[in-house]
Amino acid sequence: MSELQAAWSSLGASDAAGDGWLARRVHAASSVPLFAALGMPASIPSLLIEVEAAVVPPIGQWPAGRGFDVVPHRRSAGPNGVLWVALSLKGPQFHDTFAVLAEDVATHVAAAPDAASAVRALLGRLRTWQEFLRRHDLGELSTPEQTGLFAELDIMEVLLLPRLPAMDALLAWKSPDDGLHDFRFAGAAVEVKGTTRIPPLEFSVSGLAQLDETAVDWLGLTVVSLAEGGDGAVNLPGLVERIRNRLAAEDPASSGRFTEMLASRGYLDVHSASYASRFLTVVQRHAFRVEAGFPRLRAGDVPAGIRECRYDVAIESCTAFEVELDAFGSAVFGGAP
């Protein structure tokens, strides 16, 4: 049970009645006061963040999303007055989601070095959650989803980060935005497939546009073959942290952006313990250029009336189009040879 949940449980056991808040300080070392609270008389679980009004930027509308509301409450008047920003549960059916969300927000706010940074952390996490809940349930990634994300992050680590500034590498990652291709560059795109089948036999294609090379100047495909366990194996949280540290060392702002993009991709740090026991080793990376003759379907290749399809491609049928990984990277970043 988290500190917030324990405080809510303790507050709920009291006999207090009436309107207002029942509140208890949490994260005592935080640079701004944080309180687990129950909004009375309905005992609505809330997180209260106390800040000086002067450090809060003009906000037309506070972030809100499925399962939570955010409302500022002025505690004292004037430009030097104090606000309680109340993050509150919206609907009992979202209780479990809200508990994870509120603890995540509290942890990030508590880690901020000063009040202004705390407000930025608060707004950043709320917007991240707003987008996450718009696109996902709060459930953990499935095993195939973990494999797919691991493969994308591996390609980011070995192909993009050695060649691009940190923020440029992140901006090229389009999977969190549901982009047509996992990575997109000026004139080129790269699709990534991950598999734990050894040897890899096939990969899945999710639509007629995914391997349509006419949409870009140069379209590449990588298949990352992964094995469970083995020497040098790393779990998904370990790979995430390794990349996050690398980004932070080069450009601290890119580290925060990476966390936001992971959330959009369906990965939350609060679930990291659930992913910790699965260790993966990269066995091989196959890289292909998608061009004329490559085994794929496009809109013009199927009978009229077929709007979309999903299909599998045998990797052995792609060998004529395989490119050595360094040459693949040169083609992506420097134009086709």
pLDDT tens column, 147-157: 999 999 999 99
If asked whether residues 182 and 100 sit together in one domain, one would say no
If asked whether residues 161 and 77 sit together in one domain, one would say no
If asked whether residues 58 and 181 sit together in one domain, one would say no
Q: Are strands 218-228 and 188-195 parallel, antiparallel or unpaired?
A: parallel
Mean pLDDT of 248-271: 86
If asked whether residues 111 and 221 sit together in one domain, one would say no
If asked whether residues 175 and 299 sit together in one domain, one would say yes
User: Is 269 a residue whose pLDDT tops 90?
Assistant: no
Mean pLDDT of 142-165: 96
Strands (E), 11-137: 20-26, 34-40, 44-52, 68-74, 82-89
Strands (E), 146-217: 183-185, 188-195, 202-205
If asked whether residues 113 and 158 sit together in one domain, one would say no
CA 164 to chain centre: 21
Question: In the sheet that 82-89 helps form, which strands lie side by side, from edge to edge?
Answer: 20-26, 34-40, 44-52, 82-89, 68-74
In tens, the pLDDT along 45-92 reads 999 999 998 898 888 788 888 889 999 998 887 777 899 999 999 988
If asked whether residues 114 and 173 sit together in one domain, one would say no
If asked whether residues 159 and 110 sit together in one domain, one would say no
Give kind and range of the element (H or E) at residue 150: helix 143-155
In tens, the pLDDT along 113-128 reads 999 999 999 998 898 8
To 10 degrees, the CA torsion angle through 195, 196, 200, 202? Answer: -40
- Last residue of one domain, picked from the residues 135, 153, 174: 135
Contacts of 194 (CB under 8 A, 6+ apart): 147, 148, 150, 151, 152, 154, 223, 224, 226
If asked whether residues 200 and 285 sit together in one domain, one would say yes
Q: Find the domain containing 213 and state its range.
A: 143-334
pTM for the complete prediction?
Answer: 0.71
- Last residue of one domain, picked from the residues 80, 105, 135: 135
279 token code pair: 């260790």
If asked whether residues 190 and 309 sit together in one domain, one would say yes
If asked whether residues 91 and 16 sit together in one domain, one would say yes
